[in-house]
Amino acid sequence: MSAETHEGVHRHPAPTSFIRKYIFSVDHKIIGIQYIMLALAAVAVGMTMSLLMRLNLSWPGTHWPILETLFPTGAPGGVMTPEFYLSLVTMHGTIMVFFVLTTAPQGGFGNYFLPIQIGAEDMAFPVLNMLSFWVTLVGFIVILLAIFVEGNQSLGQAFAAIGPSFTGGSGTVGPIGGWTGYAPLSALGKIAGPGQGAGMNLWVISIAIFCVGSLLGALNFITTLLNMRTKGMSLMRMPLTCWAWFTTAVLALLSFPVLLGGGILLLLDRIAGTSFFIPSGLYVSGLLSGTNPNFPLHTGGSPILWQHLFWFFGHPEVYIAILPGMGATSHILSTFARKPVFGYRAMVFAIFAIGLLGFFVWGHHMFISGMSPYSAIAFSVLTLSIGVPSAVKTFNWIGTLWGARIRFTTAMLFALGFVSLFVAGGITGLILGQSSLDLAMHDTYIVTAHFHLVMGVASIFGMFAALYFWFPKMFGRFMNESIGRIHFWLTFIGVYTIFVPMHIMGIVGMPRRYSSFAEYEFLKTLHPLVLLVSVAAVITISAQLLFYFNVFWSIFKGKKAGDNPWEATTLEWTTATPPPHDNFAGVLPTVYHGPYEFAVPGAPKDYVMQTDAGADVPSGDGHNGHKH
Amino acid sequence: MLGPMCQAVMATMVTSTKKATTKGMGSGGRFPGPNGKKPGGNGFHGGDGGNKRKFSPWSYRITMWMVLAAIVMMFGALSVAYVMVSEEQRTPVPMPRMFFVSTGLILVSSATFHQAKKALEQNRADTHLRWLLATLGLGFGFLISQLAGWRELARAGVYFSGHPRSTFFYLATALHGGHLLGGIGLVFYLVIRRLRPLWQLSAEKNVTWTRVVGLYWHTMDGIWIWLFALLLIFK
Amino acid sequence: MGRVLAVIIWIITLLSVLLFVAGKWWFPEAISEHAPALDRQFLITIVVVGISFTAAQVGLGWMVWKYRDTGSSSDRATYSHGSNRLEVLWTVITAVVFISLGVMGQSVWASLRLHDAPAGSYSVEVVAQQFQWNFHYAGKDGKFGRTDPKFIDDGSLNFIGIDATDTAGADDAVTSALAIPVNRPVELRLRSKDVIHNFWVPQLRFKQDLVPGMEIKVHFTANKVGKYELACAELCGQLHFKMKSYMLVLPEEEIQQLQAMPQEQFQAKMAVLLAKYPLPTYQ
């Protein structure tokens, strides 16, 4: 399995029909763009939902005309019902985590750039690659269907024809169990609450489909990276983005099947009367288990089992969401600092450590779940140790900036923003990872603040940075830098204003997933912070309109870009803009140097491309010279 | 190729790698921008100017290992579920006698497949075909014995809905059977390959395909042994 | 641009830290025996968090300020692939700090969760349902009456399924609010009728899920008399936000009095006590 590839030149006639070129394309570049477009659509849906949630929390009881028109049952008189709010919470989380954070960073940018950065013509199995996108898209359609089946009376009632557990039309926009779908709430069906009928079934089915799509994608990444690197592209000469995509694919490969297994069991509990997660003797909505056709007899199930299965997947999932962003940040920081990445080897090890340790800490979501308190201790100590590789990465990012000559392009701003926000979000893991402190902090807004900062902001900044950076290569035109700058400042300041106060809310005791805080005296002092967060959210979400405009306008009207506008070193910048169908016009590159040879003393320019045969680069960590 | 394609539903992950070897559907247009410009840099390659993608056995082997890793994780999750559900209100489930037959059949089928591979490596194409057909037959026999085993369970009063341990008898065997059906599809593909003229062209491809299908088949065997043991010990 | 970025990062850092140290919003007063240790561990942690956060943001800002490309000189950046010595140094330091925090963070947990409630604890059975709390008191005989799901009938107010034929249950009481003695270990036996709920009183610094199909025993000791709000802290359905009750921490004599009362009297007395004790004032 050496870098010397078995692959020869791949030539077949480029497709001519619109359908083969842009719709059912097997070209990894088109597939990458398709994933990015999917994520852009999904994030718009997710952001709208969060906006509605903030409006409800800050100005409760307000009559919103648009809600009244669109959701007369879920928001009668334009005022949100509690179940409508919870369905927003559930769908927001599900759509964002799966269809935004698990698509664009990996399936989007990874698909587009992994093959090019390693010098391959395409992924190992292009048809499989195409399948992975379309399966994922079907999953997205199914989750959108959940919105309509629950939101629309007639559609909901029509669905009931499939089976009793498929009743919809509750007026919500989907199930109400949160993206984590804890059983038995998620397993009992419609007797447990509105939205828990058809909406919940479709949710499980959508996620199961998504699991399959992700697995198909992961296969390609691993095989391609291991087997299709071009001549000279040893593993330690790969850009850090490739390491990140590789590790993410391995995490996905090993964690999604567990979610799929859990999802199958949950679906069976719901539609086939099994009892994996439902114990005996329950009394729900006035019905005793086994005494009513609406509530068949259950026995032997374990609600905690669902949590174990879900979080065994769920924890690696959050690293799947952030690792590509870390890779992109390292890559972009180095490029615009005009300096090699500080500690490339340490960065690779840190990526592995994060990936590996990520499989052993899932219990920190379950400290007070009723599981063994001894395992809580083990999970807690392991969780704190996973902070170490993350800290090492942060030190290395700052080290990359030391002695640099920083060029503040928009991509660089977002990469710097990533570092700032990742620290802010990650550092509170020290609090939440301790079992003792979790006694007070579980299910409060400090958890919400933590995961939004790392996933909902840092990871997104990684994607923004990647898009501003690679846009010229993908579309042959720059995104507008002035609009980009405004986008950056509004978003950067906005997200801090939204999520830092949430830590305080959590300390005071604001619980998660409450549709209203009016019931409790101890929460009333928080109202000014709640308002501040919502105002910031409105501004920040509005600022994203600038981003959307910039993306779509620039595709057609942006300033034209050459092959290597950023003076970068890796293989994607050696080929045409945009790259031809087989990436390298029939002539695969040969690699002579590592990926981040900037500021090489004595070199004619302040960067040496990986393919520059004539350049003499001192061996830094032993992998940039002529050996290897 | 239609037969295996239909079975693609059962094991999309694996059978779709079959599709990859058919000529690529072609693609590659771009959003506005020039196409096919000469690349910059010092790309060097002694291209052969041929029209076909050079076959890489490792791509197939790595992918199959990965596929199997994912399948093992899923069955692992289900196994954990089986062990973790509570003991309450349960009578032990008797192991159907037919499942012992299943075990025998699948073990023999691994042996017959191994013979098929050996025959191929010794260039005995007809023997290879015969052992493949034997494996197919045993595979079908396995599935039939599974159905018979389910009949036995139902007659003993063990149903799908009820205690999760009882459900597991049906569910695990059904999921395994589904994956095995995908494996049957793969073996069927090997049979078809053998009968087509393409066969003569690349010994390397034939061997690689046989090896990866063998990997899959033996792993399915192993998963059955695991499930059988689990059900036997924890019934 | 580098200077602007640095300044904005520093301002954000300053404001964030101020928000925390201002003290305007913080934990409510602590009323349990383990709370001071928990609060102390939290304080240590937040100090480490604050220092790390600030140092990183200051460092980041410093780098982007100092090493911005001023375009003037033709000097290149410093060519460095890193420093193995630094890697070892900061890995070890971080590991020591984080893992020490981690180990320290187990002590309160261990003191509460690794052993059963001490002898002489006051036991209350807690049965949660969508969307109310049911607290079952053992009465004068100190024995809980038998319960079984088949006796549950919300309509006739038998929320937890008390078996009317069990004599031990004759003196039991079931109410929707919790009354516990001050300065005495309390054992809660947590159950749920339908979905997962979570018992939480912020002042107690204590949370535990109530899982259907399990009886989970936890214990703590409250050391301040008063009335405190009790909230559900695990999503349980659409009225999760309204699943509210109160915890009364009472002097021993009042608890003894209550304990001697059967159902109707118990409930009446609870209403009186709930009215008598005010909620804490929140700023």
CB pairs < 8 Å spanning A and C: 375
Domain end residue (candidates: A555, A583, A599): A555
Same domain, B80 and B149: yes
Chain B hits for A26, CB-CB cut-off 8 Å, are 24-27
Same domain, A567 and A510: no
Q: Is residue A596 part of a domain?
A: yes
Using pLDDT thresholds of 50, 70 and 90, give the confidence band for residue C72.
low
Nearest to A51 by CA among A74, A85, A98: A85
Nearest to C86 by CA among A348, A596, A343, A236: A343
Question: How does pLDDT run across C135-176, given as a tens digit for each residue?
Answer: 999 988 889 999 999 999 999 899 999 998 998 888 899 999
Residue of A nearest to B57 (CA): A6
The verdict on C274 touching A (C-beta cutoff 8 Å) is no
Strand ordering across the sheet containing C197-201: C178-181, C245-250, C226-232, C197-201, C206-210
Q: Do A265 and B81 touch (CB under 8 A)?
A: yes
Same domain, A601 and A524: no
What are the b/e assignments for B156-190, b being 16+ CB within 10 Å? eebebbbbbbbbbbbbbbebbbebbbbbbbbbbbb
Same domain, B210 and B134: yes
pLDDT at A197: 86
Q: Is omega for the bond preceding A166 within 30 degrees of 0, making it cis?
A: no
pLDDT at A80: 92
Q: Do B39 and A576 touch (CB under 8 A)?
A: yes
Domain end residue (candidates: A266, A292, A318): A292
The verdict on C130 touching A (C-beta cutoff 8 Å) is yes
Does position C205 have pLDDT exceeding 70, yes or no? yes
Distance, CA of A458 to chain centre = 10
Kindly report the CATH number assigned to the domain that includes residue B119: 1.20.120.80
Question: How does pLDDT run across B128-164, given as a tens digit for each residue?
Answer: 999 999 999 999 999 999 999 999 998 988 888 878 8
Does position B23 have pLDDT exceeding 50, yes or no? no
Determine the length of chain B. Answer: 235
Which comes out higher in pLDDT, residue A111 or B18? A111
How many domains does chain B divide into?
2
pLDDT at A8: 38
Closest Cα in chain B, distance from residue A219 (Å): 6
Nearest to A355 by CA among A397, A396, A327, A394: A327
Q: Do A427 and C149 touch (CB under 8 A)?
A: no
Same domain, B215 and B134: yes
Residue of A nearest to B25 (CA): A26
**Residue from A84, A345, A436, A489 whose CB has the most chain C CBs within 10 Å, to mutate:** A436
Task: Identify the DSSP state of C14.
Answer: H
Q: Which domain covers residue B37, as residue numbers?
A: 1-54
Question: How does pLDDT run across B157-205, given as a tens digit for each residue?
Answer: 888 887 888 899 999 999 999 999 999 999 999 999 888 877 777 888 8
Does position B42 have pLDDT exceeding 50, yes or no? no
Question: How does pLDDT run across A518-566, given as a tens digit for each residue?
Answer: 999 999 999 999 999 999 999 999 999 999 999 999 999 999 999 999 9
Chain C hits for A600, CB-CB cut-off 8 Å, are 79
Nearest to A215 by CA among A141, A136, A122: A136
Same domain, B158 and B225: yes
User: In chain A, what percentage of residues exceed pLDDT 70?
Assistant: 96
**SS3 for A160-222, per residue?**
CCCCHHHCCCCCCCCCCCCCCCCCCCCCCHHHHCCCCCHHHHHHHHHHHHHHHHHHHHHHHHH
Same domain, B76 and B64: yes
Kindly report the CATH number assigned to the domain that includes residue A55: 1.20.210.10
pLDDT (mean) for A147-156: 87
Same domain, B25 and B103: no
pLDDT at A12: 57
Same domain, B222 and B115: yes
* Mean pLDDT over each residue of chain B, to the nearest integer: 78
Q: Do A342 and C49 touch (CB under 8 A)?
A: no
Same domain, A256 and A352: no
Q: Do A338 and C77 touch (CB under 8 A)?
A: yes
Determine the length of chain A. Answer: 628
pLDDT at C183: 96
Same domain, A330 and A463: yes
Nearest to A261 by CA among A206, A306, A300: A306
C5 half-sphere exposure, CB direction, 13 A CA radius: 31
pLDDT (mean) for C63-86: 87
The verdict on C38 touching A (C-beta cutoff 8 Å) is yes
Strand ordering across the sheet containing C185-192: C173-175, C132-137, C122-129, C185-192, C216-221
Chains in touch with A (3+ beta-carbon pairs under 8 Å) read: B, C
Distance, CA of B77 to chain centre = 19
CB pairs < 8 Å spanning A and B: 293
Residue type, C172: D
Chain A hits for C109, CB-CB cut-off 8 Å, are 367, 373, 376-377, 380, 435-436, 439
How many domains does chain A divide into?
3
pLDDT (mean) for C45-68: 96
d(CA A91, CA A203): 9
Task: Identify the DSSP state of A560.
Answer: B
Using pLDDT thresholds of 50, 70 and 90, give the confidence band for residue A74.
confident
Does position A621 have pLDDT exceeding 70, yes or no? no
Nearest to A383 by CA among A434, A423, A458: A434
pLDDT at B45: 33
In this structure, the strands spanning A283-284 and C173-175 are: unpaired
Of A124, A308, A574, the CB nearest to B41: A574
Closest Cα in chain B, distance from residue A531 (Å): 43
What are the b/e assignments for A166-178, b being 16+ CB within 10 Å? bbbbbbbbbbbbb
Same domain, A44 and A148: yes
User: In chain C, what percentage of residues exceed pLDDT 70?
Assistant: 99
Same domain, A486 and A388: yes
pLDDT at B4: 45
Element (H, E) at C154: none
d(CA A210, CA A99): 9
Same domain, A488 and A352: yes
Same domain, A537 and A569: no
Q: Do A443 and C207 touch (CB under 8 A)?
A: yes
Angle between helical axes of A460-475 and A303-337 (0-180°, round to 10): 50
Same domain, B9 and B83: no
Handedness of CA A601, A603, A606, A607 (dihedral sign): negative
**CB distance B47 to B39 below 8 Å:** no
**CB distance A525 to C283 below 8 Å:** yes
Q: Do A401 and C63 touch (CB under 8 A)?
A: yes
pLDDT at B55: 78
Q: Do A564 and B59 touch (CB under 8 A)?
A: no
pLDDT (mean) for A51-74: 90
3-class secondary-structure state, position C174: strand
pLDDT at A153: 82
pLDDT (mean) for B33-45: 29
Closest Cα in chain A, distance from residue C11 (Å): 10
Q: Which domain covers residue A350, as residue numbers?
A: 302-555
Same domain, B42 and B68: no
Same domain, A266 and A309: no
Enter the tokens of residue C280.
Answer: 């804490």
Q: Do C207 and A420 touch (CB under 8 A)?
A: no
Chain A hits for C239, CB-CB cut-off 8 Å, are 82
Same domain, A224 and A273: yes
Enter the tokens of residue C6.
Answer: 């640095």
Does position C76 have pLDDT exceeding 80, yes or no? yes
Angle between helical axes of B97-121 and B203-234 (0-180°, round to 10): 160
Residues 6+ apart with CB under 8 A from C41: A434, A436, A437, C104, C105, C107, C108
Same domain, B2 and B76: no
d(CA B159, CA B150): 9
Q: Is omega for the bond preceding B197 within 30 degrees of 0, making it cis?
A: no
d(CA A457, CA A450): 10
Question: How does pLDDT run across C218-266, given as a tens digit for each residue?
Answer: 999 999 999 999 999 999 999 999 999 999 999 999 999 998 898 999 9
Using pLDDT thresholds of 50, 70 and 90, give the confidence band for residue C278.
very high
Using pLDDT thresholds of 50, 70 and 90, give the confidence band for residue C57.
very high
pLDDT at A3: 38
Number of other CB atoms surrounding residue A298 within 10 Å: 28
**CB distance A569 to A503 below 8 Å:** no
Q: Do B71 and A257 touch (CB under 8 A)?
A: yes
**CB distance C214 to A370 below 8 Å:** yes
Same domain, A36 and A169: yes
Closest Cα in chain B, distance from residue A307 (Å): 11
Phi, psi for C122 (deg, rounded to 5): -90, 120
Residue of A nearest to B77 (CA): A258
d(CA B150, CA B137): 20
Enter the tokens of residue C86.
Answer: 């630094």
Nearest to A276 by CA among A260, A263, A265, A267: A265
Same domain, A427 and A450: yes
Same domain, B46 and B78: no
Domain end residue (candidates: A519, A535, A555): A555
Does position B40 have pLDDT exceeding 60, yes or no? no
Q: Do C63 and A402 touch (CB under 8 A)?
A: yes
Closest Cα in chain C, distance from residue A397 (Å): 9
d(CA A228, CA B214): 24
Same domain, B89 and B65: yes
Does position A34 have pLDDT exceeding 90, yes or no? yes
**Residue from C46, C87, C111 whose CB has the most chain A CBs within 10 Å, to mutate:** C87
